[in-house]
């Protein structure tokens, strides 16, 4: 706007000079021309002032009320961490993306994860190698973060965020879920594992990364335990600095609803956009509180994660105090909870989560793994089509939703995969049954060694 006005001013001045030259020839009209020139200059100057004032007004207004003036963010990177309620955030991103026609950076070949625990690489994303996708909006599946590779896929203005959970509760959860990993296999309980000083843990054995400083690991950083306090100070400061450089927002699982409100503001979305049911959640039956002594051992064992959790918990609350304030936060949290209760009443037969055995639609059963009991939902029967679609999206488990989005985004690739799967199923019933089985076994074996934990989902 200002450059427009400046252009107009130069143009007017040119005109005035031209007129002056002509006027000089005719001294009787000189006075009149000078008056006209003065008025023109005055007029232009006033106009410019007006433009500047207006521009300033817009800026001031946008600072005062960012919910009205901000633009909803559509380029998003979510680093999905393990056992942190991140599946619920994934569902929020999937639903928003699906209803706004956004493109997801999904794992190659319909995998459920971006080849975790290998470091992320751009070509793990379907459509990158073939260049069949012009623009990716959302990247949110499990990966081991690599800033450099992510930036090759995602637009420059992408908003990065992630979520942390208290390492004490997290480790109890990880132990139950990943009981089959080498570090945990040999022990009966988490208590036993810790009291033995983690004797069964060998950092260089595949899949043991789940057992120590997994948050640090997921952020793509060195998760080996520091040997002494000096080392811990130095390494944790490095981890925190690296995370702060790449992630302007870190949410906290213990304050999940507060986190959703912060996320809503950071993305310039609405409360409806972040309303959700808890997904991939364990039933209370398989939860066990840890004693204070064991909790201290967990903090010591995961010393890096414990440091970064404390740091980001503190910055989380600082951010709230310096932006929304606690009163406004509490109001929005209450509104969010009311919205969730309404959705539960509208969508769910039992009004809440049920055990997997009670999930009637088998296509909506959540994936079960380890000793954890992952709960699911039943939809009410009498919903109209629009409501049913909304409700169905709210309760669709991660794996099913990921395949559905893949199928929508890459219909031909999905059809080819389905045809191949059908062929394999058919050949199972023929004489080649054993050979195919053997081939499949060999494939699984090589996959396991090459990609380590790709089979461990979430
Ligand atoms: C998404 O795409 C569909 C079909 O192309 C279109 O009808 C709809 O308006 C689009 N929605 C948005 C939010 O752009
Ligand atoms: C840990 O595992 C590596 C690789 O499997 C092995 O070479 C090493 O001996 C193991 N260390 C211990 C202390 O068992
Ligand atoms: C702490 O550990 C580091 C590396 O593991 C070592 O270089 C340093 O000397 C140790 N410091 C003390 C005080 O033991
Ligand atoms: C996280 O921050 C809150 C608010 O300051 C505090 O009450 C809580 O104790 C903190 N949690 C941990 C584990 O430090
Ligand atoms: C609702 O969906 C069913 C099946 O998908 C379809 O047959 C029916 O016409 C839809 N009804 C309305 C009112 O759109
Ligand atoms: C599977 O691997 C075994 C040896 O590891 C080999 O003898 C066999 O031929 C392989 N089977 C197929 C179908 O590739």
CA distance 6 to 48: 8
Ligand 1 binding pocket includes 337 (Cβ within 6 Å): no
Q: Is 429 in the pocket of ligand 1 (CB under 6 A)?
A: no
Ligand 1 contact, 100 CB (< 6 A)? yes
Q: How far apart are CA 340 and CA 344, in angstroms?
A: 6
Contact 256, 340 (CB under 8 A): no
Q: Which atom belonging to ligand 1 lies closest to the Cα atom of 99?
A: 13
Q: Which ligand is nearest to the CA of 100?
A: 1
How far away, in angstroms, is 313 Cα from ligand 4 center? 6
What mean pLDDT do residues 291-305 have?
A: 97
What pLDDT was estimated at residue 363? 81
Q: Global pTM?
A: 0.78
Q: Convert 316-333 to b/e letters by CB count within 10 Å (16 or more is b).
A: beebbeeebeeeebeebb
Nearest CA to ligand 6 atom 2: 442
- Give pLDDT, residue 205: 94
For ligand 1, atom 10, the nearest C-alpha belongs to 101
Q: Which of 125-129, 250-254, 276-280 has the lowest mean pLDDT?
A: 276-280
Share of the chain above pLDDT 90, in %: 65
Looking at the fold, whether 88 and 214 belong to one and the same domain comes out as yes
pLDDT band, very low/low/confident/very high, at 431 (cuts 50, 70, 90): low
Cβ of 228 below 6 Å from ligand 3: yes
Tell me the two tokens of residue 299. 């903090």
222 lines ligand 3 (CB under 6 A): no
Per-residue pLDDT band at 62 (split at 50, 70, 90): very low
Higher pLDDT, 364 or 36: 364
pLDDT greater than 80 at residue 98? yes
118 Cα–ligand 2 center, Å: 20
Would the pLDDT of 58 be above 50? no
- 233 CA → ligand 2 middle, Å: 27
Q: Which two tokens stand for residue 426?
A: 């058919």
Q: What is the reported pLDDT for 7?
A: 46
In b/e form, how buried is each residue of 181-215, taking b as 16+ CB within 10 angstroms? Answer: bebbeebeebbebbeeebebbeeeeebbbbbbbbb
* Minimum-distance ligand 6 atom for the alpha carbon of 435: 13
Provide the pLDDT confidence category of residue 438 given band limits of 50, 70 and 90.
low
Looking at residue 387, its pLDDT comes to 95
Dihedral angle, C-alpha 383, 386, 388, 394, nearest 10 °: -140
Q: Does the Cβ of 437 fall within 6 Å of ligand 6?
A: no
Domain limits at 425? 410-458
Whole-angstrom distance, CA of residue 171 vs CA of residue 214: 9
Whether residues 306 and 359 fall in one domain: yes
Quick one: average pLDDT of 133-142?
96
Q: What is the number of the ligand closest to the CA of 74?
A: 1
166 in ligand 4 pocket by Cβ < 6 Å? Answer: yes
Task: Answer yes or no: do 91 and 50 share one domain.
Answer: no
Q: Which of 30-39, 253-262, 399-408 has the weakest average pLDDT? A: 30-39
| pLDDT class of 370 with cuts at 50, 70, 90 | confident
| Chain segment 302-354, per-residue pLDDT in tens | 999 999 999 999 999 999 999 999 999 999 999 999 999 999 999 998 888 88
Q: Per-residue confidence at 282, pLDDT binned at 50, 70, 90?
A: confident
Span 117-131, mean pLDDT?
96
Whether residue 54 sits in one domain with residue 136: no
- Name the residue at shortest CA distance from atom 14 of ligand 1: 100
**What is the whole-number distance in angstroms between the Cα of residue 204 and the centre of ligand 2?**
7
Could you identify the atom of ligand 4 that is nearest to the CA of residue 310? 14
Position 200 pLDDT exceeds 90: yes
Same domain, 253 and 359: yes
Which range is most confident: 51-60, 162-171, 430-439? Answer: 162-171
Looking at the structure, tell me whether residues 374 and 435 fall in a common domain.
Answer: no
CB atoms within 10 A of CB 155: 13
Domain finish residue from 17, 36, 69: 69
Q: What is the pLDDT of residue 427?
A: 78
| 251 shares a domain with 113 | yes
Does any ligand 6 atom lie closer than 6 A to the CB of residue 10? no
127 and 149 housed in the same domain:
yes
Lowest mean pLDDT of 166-175, 189-198, 332-341, 356-365, name the range: 356-365
Ligand nearest to the CA of 102: 1
Q: What local confidence, expressed as pLDDT, does residue 451 receive?
A: 39
Gyration radius from the chain CA atoms: 29
Would you place residue 115 in the very low, low, confident or very high pLDDT band (cuts 50, 70, 90)? very high
Q: Considering 69, 89, 107, which residue would you say is the last residue of a domain?
A: 69
Domain of residue 147, CATH code? 3.40.50
Structurally, the chain folds into a number of domains equal to: 3
Ligand closest in space to the Cα of 182: 2
Q: State the pLDDT at residue 430.
A: 65
Residue 345 shares a structural domain with residue 418: no
Query: What pLDDT sits at residue 28?
Result: 59
Cβ(382) – ligand 3 distance below 6 Å = no
Give the HSE-up count for residue 408: Cα atoms under 13 Å, Cβ half-sphere: 16
Average pLDDT for 410-414: 95
List, for residues 204-251, the tens digit of each pLDDT value: 999 999 999 999 999 999 999 999 999 999 999 999 999 999 999 999
Q: Is the beta carbon of 157 within 6 A of some atom in ligand 3?
A: no
Cβ 231 under 6 angstroms from ligand 3 = yes
Pair 424, 388 in one domain? no
129 and 196 together in one domain: yes
Looking at the fold, whether 38 and 178 belong to one and the same domain comes out as no
Q: Taking 60 as the threshold, does the pLDDT of residue 450 lie above it?
A: no
CB 405 within 8 A of CB 106: yes
For residue 229, the ligand 3 atom closest to its alpha carbon is 1
**Ligand 2 pocket list (CB less than 6 A):** 202, 204-205
Q: Provide CB contacts within 8 A for 135, sequence distance 6+.
A: 103, 155
Q: Measure CA 178 to chain center.
A: 23
Among 52-61, 75-84, 160-169, 307-316, the least confident range:
52-61
Residue 203 CA to ligand 2 centre (angstroms): 8
pLDDT of residue 69 exceeding 50, the answer is yes
d(CA 320, CA 284): 30
Atom of ligand 2 minimally distant from the CA of 203 = 1
Domain boundary among 69, 104, 123: 69
**β-bridge mates for residue 376, sequence order:** 354
- Cα–Cα distances in Å, from 166 out to 225, 253, 256, 257, 304? 18, 8, 12, 16, 12
């Amino acid at each position: 706007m200002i450059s427009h006005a400046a252009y107009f001013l130069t143009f007017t001045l040119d005109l005035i000079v031209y007129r002056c030259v002509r006027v000089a020839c005719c001294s009787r009209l000189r006075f009149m021309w000078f008056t006209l020139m003065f008025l023109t200059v005055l007029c232009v100057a006033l106009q410019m002032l007006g433009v500047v004032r207006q521009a300033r007004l817009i800026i001031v207004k946008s600072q005062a009320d960012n919910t009205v003036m901000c633009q909803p963010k559509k380029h998003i990177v979510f680093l999905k961490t393990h056992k942190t309620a991140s599946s619920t955030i994934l569902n929020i991103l999937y639903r928003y993306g699906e209803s706004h026609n956004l493109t997801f950076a999904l794992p190659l070949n319909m995998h459920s994860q971006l080849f975790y625990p290998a470091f992320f690489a751009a070509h793990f994303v379907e459509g990158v190698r073939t260049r069949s996708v012009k623009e990716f909006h959302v990247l949110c599946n499990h990966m081991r973060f690599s800033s450099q590779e992510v930036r090759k896929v995602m637009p420059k203005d992408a908003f990065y965020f992630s979520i942390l959970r208290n390492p004490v509760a997290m480790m109890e959860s990880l132990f139950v879920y990943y009981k089959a990993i080498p570090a945990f296999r040999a022990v009966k309980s988490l208590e036993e594992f810790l009291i033995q000083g983690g004797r069964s843990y060998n950092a260089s054995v595949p899949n043991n990364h789940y057992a120590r400083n997994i948050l640090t690991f997921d952020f793509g950083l060195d998760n080996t335990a520091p040997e002494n306090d000096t080392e811990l100070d130095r390494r944790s400061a490095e981890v925190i600095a690296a995370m702060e450089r790449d992630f302007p927002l870190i949410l906290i699982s213990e304050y999940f609803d507060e986190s959703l409100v912060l996320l809503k503001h950071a993305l310039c979305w609405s409360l409806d956009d972040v309303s959700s049911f808890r997904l991939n959640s364990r039933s209370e039956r398989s939860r066990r509180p840890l004693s204070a002594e064991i909790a201290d051992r967990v903090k010591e064992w995961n010393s890096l994660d414990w440091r970064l959790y404390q740091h980001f918990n503190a910055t989380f609350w600082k951010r709230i105090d310096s932006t929304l304030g606690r009163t406004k936060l509490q109001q929005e949290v209450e509104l969010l909870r009311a919205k969730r209760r309404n959705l539960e009443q509208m969508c769910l037969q039992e009004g809440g989560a049920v055990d997997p055995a009670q999930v009637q639609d088998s296509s909506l059963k959540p994936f079960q793994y380890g000793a954890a009991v992952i709960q699911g939902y039943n939809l009410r029967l009498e919903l109209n089509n629009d409501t049913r679609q909304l409700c169905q999206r709210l309760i669709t488990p991660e794996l099913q939703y990921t395949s559905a989005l893949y199928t929508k985004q890459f219909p031909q690739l999905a059809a080819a995969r389905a045809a191949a799967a059908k062929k394999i199923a058919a050949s199972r019933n023929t004489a080649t049954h054993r050979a195919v089985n053997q081939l499949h076994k060999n494939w699984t074996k090589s996959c396991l060694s090459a990609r380590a934990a790709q089979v461990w989902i979430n």
